[in-house]
């Protein structure tokens, strides 16, 4: 063929791209691509909406709550707390979803409970993700070295404990009150977040290590070495961006179990402490009334926990499918 000028080279370049699955015509950005895949799946869209509703309830809890969540109202004459939905206190306060055994508004407490639960879960997932990325990234990049061995054996040991048992043990070690570490005072909430993060970080570390190993086998890593990248530059600059999609999926799937663990700790009296509104504590208090006719008492916090977990599970599944179709097929096998 003759000397190629710009136009002929583009033409022939286009002709080869016909074979490639993504043609130039669509020209969608990465995020649009993900959104396009995501919205095709109805269930995951529903999950996303549920999560958004839960987050909105949590964020706007102070506005949405009809009453102060810790205020104890007096029982009207002739009636005893817990009061059924739509009843009124002696002061005339309306309990939309009933009151608890101390005469507090269940709806307000549940909304604030969502708030603390989501704060706790998000905080601990973030810390767990950071710890996991660090441990798994280093272990994967230094595969076979003593660092890898050390990290992965610690991870193995931690994973061999049931999550809740490990969390209870850690709470036992750290206590449930405030702790002063030098100038920093860790409140109960921060401590629980850290405890949950520690119990979940091994799972992230293991996934991260696998992803890093997989990416290290790719040619672009060799290409980066050939252009003179240092080990840490390649890990942080080349490999790390490619681990984000699977790690997001992992985080959103783990979000559901983190919510459950936080609620369980509170239920056991090892998490947030009363009178702080917490869905776990509410369930614990409602235990005595399970068969006593006060059906609304356990139902409301239970429903909110269910909603949040369901939402995150659906969302996580959907994200997995849309971020990495290959991964989805692999996990189905």
Partner 1 sequence: MSRVFRWESKVKYSRLLEISDLVTRFHTEEGVVKAVDGNSMHLDAGETLGIVGESGCGKTVTALSIMGLIENPGRIESGSILFRGDELLDKTPQEMQEIRGKEIAMVFQDPMNSLNPTLTVGDQIDRVLDFHTPLSRTEKRKRAIELLRQVEMPEPEKRLDNYPHQLSGGMRQRVLIAMALSCNPIVLILDEPTTALDVTIEAQIFELVDKLKAQYDMGIILITHDLSVVANSCDRVIVMYAGRIVEEAPVIDLYEDPLHPYTRGLLNSIPQLDKEEERLPSIPGEVPELINLPEGCNFSPRCQEAKERCPHDDPPLVKVGPGRRIACWMDNGA
The count of chain residues that interact with partner 1, using the rule CB under 8 A, is 35
- Least distance between partner 1 and beta carbon 146 (Å): 15
Whether the Cβ atoms of residue 250 and residue 207 lie closer than 8 Å to each other: yes
Does residue 332 belong to the site contacting partner 1 (CB under 8 A)? no
Residue 85: helix, strand or coil by DSSP? coil
145 binds partner 1 (CB under 8 A): no
> Binding to partner 1 by residue 177, rule CB under 8 A?
no
Nearest-5° Cα angle at 225, 222 to 228:
155
Counting contacts by CB under 8 A, is residue 24 touching partner 1? yes
Q: In the stretch 178-217, what mask flags binding to partner 1 with x, by CB under 8 A?
A: ----------------------------------------
Within positions 30 to 69, which residues make up the interface with partner 1, using CB under 8 A?
30
Binding window for partner 1 (CB under 8 A); candidates: 96-104, 158-166, 193-201, 233-241:
233-241
Q: Which of 187, 222, 267, 333 binds partner 1 (CB under 8 A)?
A: 222
Residue 197, classed as helix, strand or coil, is helix
22 or 126, CB closer to partner 1?
22
Q: Single out the residue of 150, 169, 223, 306 in contact with partner 1 (rule: CB under 8 A).
A: 223
- Would you count residue 157 as binding partner 1 (CB under 8 A)? no
Nearer residue to partner 1 within complex by CB, 160 or 227: 227
Q: Is the Cα dihedral 59, 60, 66, 71 positive or negative?
A: positive
Q: C-alpha 70: how far from its chain's center?
A: 27
In contact, 264 and 283? CB cutoff 8 Å: no
Neighbour tally for 134: CB within 10 Å: 15
Tokens (6 digits) for 221: 């890593």
Q: Which of 56, 230, 290, 306 binds partner 1 (CB under 8 A)?
A: 230
Smallest distance, Å, CB 21 to partner 1? 8
Q: How far apart are the C-alpha atoms of 265 and 258, rounded to whole Å?
A: 11
Q: Of the candidates 36, 218, 232, 331, which one interacts with partner 1 according to CB under 8 A?
A: 218
Asked whether position 238 contacts partner 1 by CB under 8 A, the answer is: yes
| Residue of 212, 196, 219 lying closest to 135 (CA atoms) | 212
- Select 60 or 220, whichever has its Cβ closest to partner 1: 220
According to the 3-state scheme, what is the secondary structure of 45-77? HHHHHHHHHHHHHHHCHHHHCCCCCCCCCCCCC
Q: How many CB atoms within 10 Å of residue 332?
A: 7
User: In whole angstroms, what is the distance from residue 243 CA to residue 15 CA?
Assistant: 32
By CB under 8 A, name the one of 41, 72, 214, 242 that touches partner 1.
Answer: 242
Residue 241 interacting with partner 1 (CB under 8 A)? yes
What is the rounded CA–CA span in Å between residue 310 and residue 254? 12
Is residue 1 involved in binding partner 1 (CB under 8 A)?
Answer: yes
CA distance 124 to 190: 9
The answer to whether residue 20 forms part of the interface with partner 1 (CB under 8 A) is yes
Q: Judged by CB, which is closer to partner 1: 199, or 250? A: 250
* Residues 236/166, Cβ–Cβ less than 8 Å: no
Residues that bind partner 1 (CB under 8 A): 1, 3-4, 6, 9-10, 12-17, 20, 22, 24, 27, 30, 218-220, 222-230, 233, 237-238, 241-242, 244
């Amino acid at each position: 063929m003759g000397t190629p000028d710009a136009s002929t080279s583009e033409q022939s370049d286009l002709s080869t791209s016909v074979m490639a699955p993504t043609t130039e015509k669509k020209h969608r950005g990465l995020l649009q691509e993900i959104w396009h895949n995501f919205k095709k799946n109805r269930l995951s869209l529903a999950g996303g909406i549920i999560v958004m509703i839960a987050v909105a309830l949590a964020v706007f809890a102070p506005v949405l709550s009809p009453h102060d969540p810790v205020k104890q109202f007096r029982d009207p004459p002739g009636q005893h707390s817990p009061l059924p939905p739509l009843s009124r206190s002696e002061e005339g306060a309306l309990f939309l979803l009933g009151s608890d055994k101390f005469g507090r508004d269940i709806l307000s407490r549940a909304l604030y409970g969502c708030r603390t639960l989501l704060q706790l879960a998000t905080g601990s997932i973030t810390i767990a993700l950071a710890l996991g990325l660090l441990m798994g990234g280093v272990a994967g990049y230094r595969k076979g070295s003593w660092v890898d061995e050390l990290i992965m054996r610690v991870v193995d040991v931690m994973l061999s404990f049931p999550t809740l048992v490990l969390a209870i043990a850690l709470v036992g070690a750290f206590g449930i009150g405030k702790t002063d570490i030098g100038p920093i005072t860790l409140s109960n909430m921060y401590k629980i977040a850290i405890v949950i993060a520690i119990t979940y970080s091994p799972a992230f570390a293991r996934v991260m290590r696998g992803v890093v190993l997989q990416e290290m086998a790719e040619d672009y890593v060799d290409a980066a070495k050939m252009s003179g990248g240092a080990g840490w530059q390649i890990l942080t600059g080349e490999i790390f961006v490619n681990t984000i999609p699977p790690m997001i999926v992992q985080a959103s799937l783990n979000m559901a179990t983190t919510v459950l663990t936080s609620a369980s700790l509170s239920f056991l009296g090892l998490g947030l402490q009363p009178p702080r509104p917490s869905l776990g504590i509410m369930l614990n208090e409602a235990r005595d009334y399970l068969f006593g006719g006060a059906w609304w008492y356990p139902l409301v916090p239970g429903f909110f926990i269910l909603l949040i977990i369901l939402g995150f599970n659906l969302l996580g599944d959907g994200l997995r499918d849309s971020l990495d179709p290959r991964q989805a097929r692999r996990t189905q096998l």
